[in-house]
Amino acid sequence: MSRIGRKAVAVPQGVSASVEGQKVKVKGPKGALEVVLHDDITPRMEADSIIVAPRAETKRARAMWGLSRSLVNNLVTGVTKGFEKRLEISGVGYRAAVQGKNLHLSLGFSHDVTYPIPDGIAIATPRPVEVVVSGIDRQKVGQVAAEIRAFRPPEPYKGKGVKYAGEYIFRKEGKKK
């Protein structure tokens, strides 16, 4: 039995939610989001909360139960608080800057990397070695952060590259004489 799926997703004040078949729509102060849940799950509204339940006791339905509840919870959290990922850049001469609708990264290549900022995502650079990706869609925020990190992932010898804030980089010992 899913321990996560059993919990109802509370819909706070100022947020409106609706369930139409398999589609759950949530609208709040930061925007509107929707998700289409798997056919093995039945979502329903009950007095300021959304409840998801499996249609049958199959292994697939139980697997989708907790996932569906987490997806609905991410919608509610996204339209109320939003999500953000922080990236840190380490390396001599490595830096980032936002210019218009593009993120320009100097990562030690012979050219600067230009990343177009997708719709629904805000990217800020409070310091030249820090990138903050924020938005209301958790999946999109994580995907954009992963794409930026993929331009120069941190290497294990000196730790240079783009890493998530708080990420531990396993360091290796270099060559010995």
Closest to 4 in 3D by CA, of 49, 46, 66: 66
Per-residue pLDDT, averaged over 19-24, amounts to 92
Cα 175 → chain centroid: 38
Bridge partners of 102, per DSSP, are: 99, 116
pLDDT recorded at residue 131: 96
pLDDT recorded at residue 1: 58
Per-residue pLDDT, averaged over 15-26, amounts to 92
Same-domain check for residues 63 and 92: no
- Each residue's pLDDT tens digit, 151-174: 999 999 998 999 999 999 999 998
Q: What is the pTM of this model?
A: 0.89
% of the chain surpassing 90 pLDDT: 86
Total domains in the fold of the chain: 2
Q: Give the burial class of 65: count Cβ atoms within 10 A of its Cβ; 0-12 exposed, 13-18 middle, 19 or more buried.
A: buried
- Each residue's pLDDT tens digit, 52-78: 999 998 999 988 999 999 999 999 999
Report if residue 34 sits inside a domain: yes
Question: Is there a contact between 161 and 152 (Cβ–Cβ < 8 Å)?
Answer: yes
Same-domain check for residues 88 and 61: no
Same-domain check for residues 71 and 110: no
What residues make up the domain containing 153? Answer: 83-164
Question: Is there a contact between 91 and 160 (Cβ–Cβ < 8 Å)?
Answer: yes
% of the chain surpassing 70 pLDDT: 99
Please report, for residues 30, 121, 168, the alpha-carbon distance to residue 144 in angstroms, rounded to integers and kept in the order given. 19, 8, 20
